[in-house]
Amino acid sequence: MNQTEHSYLNGLNDVQRQAVIATDGPVLVVAGPGSGKTRVLTYRIAHIIQSGVAPWEILALTFTNKAAREMKDRIAQVVGMRANKVWAGTFHSIFARILRVEAEKIGYPSNFTIYDSDDTKSLIGTIIKEMNLDKNSYNPNAVRSRISQAKSNLITPTLYRQNQELMEQDRAAKRPFIVEIYHKYTARCKRAGAMDFDDLLYRLFELLQKNPDGVLEKYREKFRYVLVDEFQDTNHLQYAIVRKLVEYPESPRNICVVGDDAQSIYAFRGATIQNILDFEKDFARHGIQVFKLEQNYRSTEHIVQAANEVITLNRNQIPKKIWSDKGEGQKIKIIKALTDTEEGKRVADTILEQKNRYHLSNEEIAILYRTNAQSRIFEEYLRRYNIPYKIFGGQSFYQRKEIKDMIGYLRLIVNQQDEEALRRIINFPKRGIGATTVEKISNLAADQNTSLWEVMTQANVSSRAMNSIKGFKHLISAYAERAQTENAFDVAKGIARDSGLLDLLKGDTTVDGMNRLENLNALLDGIKTFVEDDDVENLTAEVNDKSLASYLQNIALLTDLDDESKSGDYVTLMSVHSAKGLEFSSVFLVGLEEKLFPSFMALESPEGLDEERRLFYVAITRAEKHLTLSYASSRYRYGNMRYNEVSRFLEEIPRDHVESTSSIRSRFSREENRSGPPTATVRGSFKERTDARTASMKADPETFKPNPSSEIQAGMKILHLKFGEGKVLSIDGNTDNRIATIYFKEIDNPQRRIMLKFAKLQILD
């Protein structure tokens, strides 16, 4: 073993080192939060290469391109440029790369289009309309989810029709024609030479299944070592593909999976925790080795021990005890607010306090919430305090209309059978090919069972419309020919000009219009970078492929989490799901109320509640030094004031890890949580430090009883939930629109005018 090998192995603890050097046979690495999972995975790959295995014989599957890049960078620190030859990437990018080579064996072109969620919903919506189905009953999102679920479980349209349970579920939901939509959707995608994201898995499995002696044998021989990151997030189909690659008679089954069952939080998108729970049993007969990474290098003891105690309440799990040697640290802070508005203010106040007391930069702080809709109030107070922030989980750059329009042109140039792209751009910018004309073309294509492109010039339309169709078809055909020999940027720059897109955006001199033009130019800049910079990673092809087809495959596989532009000193606002894999010095986890976190839908089943608890576990283990948990006794939801019980998760944290609480008597006993949904017993209470002024100007939602607005008269003393005690000075307006002028002595700008029919006021005398 040379000095380089010694240096990287010596940087590992005992368990990490054992997991790295146990290179052969099946291996399960159970990696707790902050336990050095990425280090173990990357050093393990480097160690395999150092032992004489060719890097291109190693397949490493991740869930983000960012994780794959980080993996290659770390491997390169040990083995140098050989790291670039490792097949490391997301499931979707690696499988798309294989399909580009092999797709013709299952009837797809090598330059197939990848449909995003908008394309899928659009096509499903078109099919629903063509079938004259009720769009409320057959919501495209719901239908798309149903089809996705079927594909993830390897259920074809034919098998779907034969599955009585699925058919009965659809009938009960008053959607008996989903199987017909699924069948038509599958046929239309194939006709268009398109695959959606589920198809990148589904069609690869089909490819391997139908070509056992050719394609499957080829990739079994190619990949001698298979590694899977974040294994707890895999679905049934992903695991089926992995097993197909490693389980065959002469295989040494060199498979290593790394993950944490306690961080399995993506059941809503098809992930199943059973994959990691059953992995040891699945490979037991092949001499599996199991390593548990239990030392947390991220968080202080109070945070780690609180997380340990909470997660023990889940029923099915791999036993482990996470520990930290980073000292006790600060206890967990609880913020109890009477309203969601007060919660926003107190969180912002605490951020200012932490910045001043602990000298934290904005980028070291994150506000995490269960749903994206919760961000508004925190945004308002951060703006008031001039604290820079950035929200993650909003609209992706590639989802903006002007970008999708441009991409539509590029997609049609590469694949003229791409009907979704054609429908999007055939009359944008407007060229006299209206909806009626498109419908005639669509009907003709359906009658002839062919694509819109093939019958465009055969439709019975006006001469003006036909001239526009011919001009459009000539434009696309000319650029399709250019795309065979020119690079992606030259083609994109030309079509942006000749299609009229650039002129259209230049003609809009509004602020929004100028922003859209900047976005289009940013896209062109990105294509230029792809063409000229060899350091830009190509996710589905060799690095020197600078074609338009290669570029489109590349961007189709990018996600918001892979955006490298997220630099700057700002507070991060994001959902807990988006925060997985990240860490911050200070974390604020907000909205900890029953039916919000855990969500009301999760309370319907023990499995749902377990997943919500794992989500809570993920959230609190993002914090390194400071963890603040907050909840509001009341908040507006769907336009109505709701009064909330504190989240059971908050009450499951032992009191010795929490700052300034009274004796916490949980409503939910630990045994009840182990066996299923809890039964309410005794309400827990947190004793908050509030000054007299705050206490006197707020009302307790539990004792607040508003009177009918018709009873409010001038001269009365009243109580307002938000403003506290006040006196009605006068009332004016007619019966339906009475407006009260009220003096609230304990607030800034004490005199307020309130429309009584919307006010909630309690009479005090």
The 3-class SS string of 509-535 reads CCHHHHHHHHHHHHHHHHHHHHHHCCC
Q: Catalytic one among 4, 18, 23, 38?
A: 38
* 263 annotated active-site: yes
Exposed (0-12), middle (13-18) or buried (19+): which is 408, by Cβ within 10 Å?
A: buried
Q: Catalytic one among 16, 17, 37, 175?
A: 37
Q: Catalytic one among 119, 230, 233, 651?
A: 230
The 3-class SS string of 76-94 reads HHHHHHHHHHCEEEEHHHH
Strands (E), 361-478: 365-369, 389-391
Nearest alpha carbon to residue 370 among 582, 678, 600, 560 = 600
CA distances from 205 to 161, 199, 222, 266, 585 (A): 21, 9, 17, 22, 42
- Residues 683 and 605: their CA atoms lie apart, in Å, by 22
3-state SS, residue 485: coil
For the beta carbon of residue 508, count every other beta carbon within 10 angstroms. Answer: 13
Is residue 90 within 8 A of residue 64, CB to CB? The reply is yes
Nearest alpha carbon to residue 426 among 393, 384, 456, 394 = 456
Kindly give, in sequence order, each residue whose CB lies less than 8 Å from that of residue 232, ignoring residues fewer than 6 positions away.
259, 260, 261, 263, 264, 271, 273, 275, 276
* 535 annotated active-site: no
* The two structure tokens encoding residue 658: 């929490």
Strand pairing class (255-259; 194-196): unpaired
- Residues 200 and 490: their CA atoms lie apart, in Å, by 29
* 622 annotated active-site: yes
Q: Catalytic one among 263, 374, 540, 553?
A: 263
* 42 annotated active-site: no
* 130 annotated active-site: no
- Residues 144 and 124: their CA atoms lie apart, in Å, by 7
Q: Catalytic one among 116, 198, 229, 651?
A: 229
Q: Catalytic one among 17, 39, 188, 622?
A: 622
Backbone angles phi, psi at 386, to 5 degrees: 55, 40
**Residues assigned a catalytic role:** 37-38, 229-230, 263, 622
